[in-house]
Amino acid sequence: MRVKQSARSGEPDEGGDGVAEWDFDDSGIRALRQYARAVGVALSLGGDCWCVEEEPRGGIYLPLDGRVAAFPEHDVALLWDEKAGWSASLETTGGADVVLERFTGPAKASPADVAAWAADLLRTEAVDDLTRVA
């Protein structure tokens, strides 16, 4: 739903001379939330433990249950970006997360494929087994 409002009267402006323009179309963010929820279900995560952002471009933050054996002191999260797709990162105390690996499939992979990739990642025993990301 797009509404233009006249700066003078505050009434909807059908003539196009309004200063403010509001866009109430939230279908993009709803689709992103559904995708995040589906990936969370495929990973057997309880509740809505993910975070979605739509601006400046779509993104998902999804913390995993479990840790990579090579880095037992760090939590692991999956990150999704609408252009780059999925990546797995180590959460650090300094706030500069370290990307461990990127999913090599399509940017919007099926939830089952993301879950299988994440399960493999959590079974990784050695750093050399990870795909290095520059």
Mean pLDDT of 113-121: 93
Question: What local confidence, expressed as pLDDT, does residue 86 receive?
Answer: 94
Comparison of pLDDT for 71 and 118, the residue scoring more:
118
Question: What local confidence, expressed as pLDDT, does residue 7 receive?
Answer: 45
46-101 pLDDT tens trace: 777 788 887 777 889 999 988 888 888 888 999 998 888 999 998 887 777 788 88
Question: What local confidence, expressed as pLDDT, does residue 50 receive?
Answer: 80
Does 1 have pLDDT greater than 50?
no
For the CA atoms of 121, 125, 131, 132, what is the dihedral angle to 10 degrees?
120
Rounded to two decimals, the pTM is: 0.71
25-40 pLDDT tens trace: 667 778 888 999 999 9
First to last CA, the chain: 42
